[in-house]
Structure 1
């Protein structure tokens, strides 16, 4: 990723954000935008983005709430470097900082209970149950490494304060693992499907929980991404282009 041709410069949120990212490997997609939109952040709150990559989710969150303070953590040093450059390019240099680290052994700066909100978009493919890409950058982005989904969930719970939220986006077929990892230490869970289109199944789900809450789980109606004909619905467009918040729970 040292050559100019290996990096692309892209736009998010209707052109509001400039993002430089590798041409290969993890590429920011709508999942990143919806994850950021789902975090119920308020001015002055601290947010941790586990597996932040080049900072896509963090930047989308700050575009909606510029007075938040976001810390990112990622294993790949090259991506952390790009995240810092992206923060500066979008005027969030003082609000977003990223560091190199593993979700299983984070740097001391990331302390237990230190964040109001934790968000994560872990690799979607489970080891032993999918074929890994022969390309290293794509494999690292898509396939779980030594850190499994349970490790990501435990890290999120550890770093969130009591009463703080943890928010994940994941493949719908891994919902059982998400719920199992949150059971016991979190409550007020909400499962929010992202429906692919009318009459089509949800391939992705957002799951949010509150640490140490005892409230029961809610299965939300979710969001319809595509209307008849294939275009995005007005609700999806508002999130993707206008930086609108995605409210998982009723007001």
Structure 2
């Protein structure tokens, strides 16, 4: 089942396993926070995760919903890893992966048929001064080499039903870009949360949710701190990662 330097990691709060590789792809805390932040219908519906990587967000969402979940990923190796994780966790009935480019979303998924979209897009633009990761898999995942922020927002709007919800995770420096693009493509920003490494530090992550054709009314949620003064996970982050104590 495992290839080359792959490993089988635990998703403790969800009691699932996921295939990862230090040389190909390993998920970050951002993906876990996005999955936790995102609304999902409990009983029925259709969910899409764009830029899905090794399927981490579909796996995390699968324990919170009975809806069908589709992950879209452009890298064949990552789709293969995701599909093997899905099979290992016996979730083939709930999650499927689609190999494809979000810029070609019209040929991959139906228009206005989905209730929820999540996306952890590449964060970094590809301006000449940027120092890209030399590993091709990580470079594609982290830098706007194959898709831009506008590409993913446009794709999210295409697949969402009117009233559907789209959630994104990104860097604070791109906040205005993200909000502007969401409005451009009819995804009215409704919830915003800043994530800080710890109290007294600058925010390093943003979580944003929009509603397709929603009315303007942005709520800024309470801040999320990752570490406390002892450099241990805060109670909220610990529960997200490991589950609530019984």
Shared fold, TM over 0.5: yes
Query: Could you give the per-residue CA deviations for residues 143-173 of structure 1, whole angstroms, max 9, x where no partner exists?
Result: 1113111111111111111001000001111
CA contact (8 A) 1:122 1:170 kept: yes
Question: What secondary structure does 1:35 align onto?
Answer: helix
1:18-71 deviation line (CA, Å, top 9, x unaligned): 111222243112111111111211221210000111110110011222x12100
Correspondence 1:204 to 2:185? no
TM-score relative to the length of structure 2: 0.92
Cα offset for 1:14? 4.1
Which residue of structure 2 lines up, in the alignment, with residue 248 of structure 1? Answer: none
TM-score by length of 1: 0.90
Per mean C-alpha deviation after superposition, the further-off stretch among 113-122 and 233-242 is 233-242
Cα drift, residue 193 of structure 1: 0.6
Q: Does 1:168 align with 2:173?
A: no
Closer, same or farther: CA 107–22 of 1 in aligned 2, 3 Å: farther
Q: Distance in 2 between matches of 1:79 and 1:163?
A: 31
Shift of 1:91: 2.0
- Report the 3-state secondary structure (helix = DSSP H, G, I; strand = E; otherwise coil) of the residue aligned with 2:178: helix
3-state secondary structure, aligned to 2:23: coil
Number of residue pairs aligned between Structure 1 and Structure 2: 242
Q: Who is 2:188 aligned against?
A: 187
* Residues 179 and 189 in structure 2, CA contact (< 8 A), matched pair in contact too: no
Greater displacement, 218-227 / 146-155: 218-227
User: Is there any run of 5+ residues in structure 1 with no aligned partner, and where?
Assistant: 245-251
Say which SS state the counterpart of residue 155 (structure 1) adopts: helix
1:125 maps to what in 2? 124
- For residues 25 and 124 of structure 1, the distance between their equivalents in structure 2, rounded to whole angstroms, comes to 17
Shift of the alpha carbon at 1:218? 1.8
Secondary structure of 2:140's aligned partner: helix
- Which stretch has the larger CA shift, 130-139 or 183-192? 183-192
1:15 Cα shift?
A: 6.8
Distance 1:121 1:133, change over 3 A: same
C-alpha distance after superposition, 1:205-224 (max 9, x if no partner): 00100000013212222312
For residues 77-226 of structure 1, what are the structure 2 equivalents within 5 Å?
77-106=76-105, 108-128=107-127, 130-184=130-184, 185-226=186-227
Q: Aligned runs of 1:25-36 on 2, under 5 Å?
A: 25-36=24-35
Partner of 1:23: 22
Q: Secondary structure at the match of 1:191?
A: strand
Does the Cα contact within 8 Å between 1:64 and 1:243 map onto a contact in 2?
Answer: no
User: Which position in structure 2 is the counterpart of 1:50?
Assistant: 50
